Structure 1
Amino acid sequence: MSQEDLVLVIKKAARDLFRKYGYNKTSVNELAKQANISKVTFYKYFSSKETILHEVLLDYIRENVQDILSSGVREKDLPTFLANTILRVSRVTYTVCNEFVGWEFIRESTNAQEYLKTLSDDLEFLLLSSFIQNEAIGNTIVEEKLTFLIKTSKNIVFSFAFTAVTDADVKKNFISFQKEILPYLVQATIA
C-alpha cells in the first residue's frame, strides 16, 4: 500500500470514529485499530489526534463547499446564490462541530476553544478562496466584501451554536439567520 493510500485509510477510520463517537471519546489506539495499523504508524503520519481531526474536518468541509458551489451555479440571481451558499456552508460547519467533535467537548474544553479558533480561521480562508475562484462570485464581488460576508456569517453561526441548548434551538436560530439576518448581509455584500 502506498503512503497516500495509507493516509487515506487512516483518515477514513478517523472520520468514521469521530462521527460515531466524537473527538473526545475516540482514542489514538482506536484510530490505529480501525485503520489496521500500529500506533507508531499512526504517529508517523499524524503528530496528534487533533492533527488528524483538523485534516479530516477540512477535507469534509472542502468537499462539501465544492459541491455546494458547483450545485449553486444554477441559481437565478447572485443574491439568491450567495444567500443559499452561505446557508448551506453554515449548516456544513455546524454539522462538523456537532457530529465530529461534539458540543459538550467544545463548550467545556480550553483546548477545544483554541482548536475551534484555528478551524474557524482555516474555514474562513477556505471559503474565501473558494468564493474568489468561483466565476459567479469572484468576478462580481470584491474580496473585502466577501470577507465581510464570510466572517460575519461564520461568527453568527458559531455564536448561536455555542448558546443553543437543543437541536430545536439550533433549528430556530438557523431559520432566524436565514430570514432575518442573511438577506441584509448579502445586500451589504453586493451593494
Structure 2
Amino acid sequence: MEADKIIESIKRSARELFRKYGYNKTSVNELAKRANIAKATFYKYFDSKELILHAILMEYIQENVKDILKKNVGEEDLAVFLGNTILKVSRLTYTVCNEFVGWEFIRESANAQEYLKTLSDDLEFLLLSSFIQNDTIAASISEKKLTFLIKTSKNIVFSFAFTAVTEADVRKNFISFQKEILPYLVHATIH
C-alpha cells in the first residue's frame, strides 16, 4: 500500500472503531487489524492513538466548519451570522467529542482532559482563521474581539461536558447558551 492509502485506511478504521467502541476501549492492535496493517506500520504514520484521534476529529470539524460558514454566509445580519455559526460549531464540537471519545472518559481521565485542551486550542485557531478569511467579518470585527467571542463560547460549551449529568442537562445548557448568553457575547463582539 502506498502511504496515502495506508493513512486513509488507518483514519477510516479509527473513525469506525472509535464510534463503535469509544476511544478508550479501542486499542492500537484493533486499529491496525481493521486497517489490514501491522502495528509497527500504524506507528510509522501515527506516534499514538491520541494523534489519530486528533487527526480525524480536526478533519471532521474542519470540513463541517466550512459547510457551516458556507450555509450561513448569505445571512445579511452580522449578529445573526455570528450567533448561528458559533452555536452550530459549538454543538458540532460537543457532539463529535461525545461520539468519538465520550464525555465520561474525558471527565475521568487526566490524559483526556489534556487532550481536550489541545483540541480546544486547535479548534479556536481553526475558527479564528476561518472567520478572518470571511471578508465581511474581517472588515467588521477585530481579531481581538473575534478571539474573545470564540474563546468565551468555547469555554462555556466545554464546561457543559463537565457539569451536565444527562443529555437533557446538555440540551438545557445549549438552550440557555443560545438564548441567554450568546446574544450578549455577539453584541459585545460587534460593538
When normalised by structure 2's length, the TM-score is 0.97
Give the whole-Å Cα distance in 2 for the aligned partners of 1:186 and 1:124: 16
Q: Is the 8 A contact 1:127 1:150 kept in 2?
A: yes
Q: Secondary structure at the match of 1:74?
A: coil
| Large movers: runs of 4+ above 4 Å | none
Shift of 1:45: 0.2
**Deviations 1:111-163, CA, capped at 9 Å, x for gaps:** 11111111111111111111111223122211000000000000000011211
Structure 2, gaps ≥5 residues long: none
Aligned residue for 1:169?
A: 169
Aligned residue for 1:187?
A: 187
Aligned residue for 2:123?
A: 123
Q: Is the 8 A contact 1:90 1:157 kept in 2?
A: yes
Aligned residue for 1:58?
A: 58
Q: Secondary structure at the match of 2:24?
A: coil
Shift of 1:21: 1.3
Give the whole-Å Cα distance in 2 for the aligned partners of 1:121 and 1:30: 29
Q: Is the 8 A contact 1:73 1:136 kept in 2?
A: no
Q: State how 1:1-191 maps to structure 2 within 5 Å.
A: 1-191=1-191
Equivalent pairs counted in the alignment come to: 191
Identity of aligned residues (%): 77
Q: Secondary structure at the match of 2:76?
A: coil
When normalised by structure 1's length, the TM-score is 0.97
Shift of 1:96: 1.7
Shift of 1:171: 0.4
Structure 1, gaps ≥5 residues long: none
Shift of 1:40: 1.0
Shift of 1:44: 0.6
Give the whole-Å Cα distance in 2 for the aligned partners of 1:37 and 1:80: 48
**Deviations 1:23-59, CA, capped at 9 Å, x for gaps:** 1011111111111111111011000001111111111
Q: Is the 8 A contact 1:132 1:138 kept in 2?
A: yes
Shift of 1:5: 2.1
Aligned-residue RMSD, C-alpha: 0.9
Give the whole-Å Cα distance in 1 for the aligned partners of 2:74 and 2:15: 31
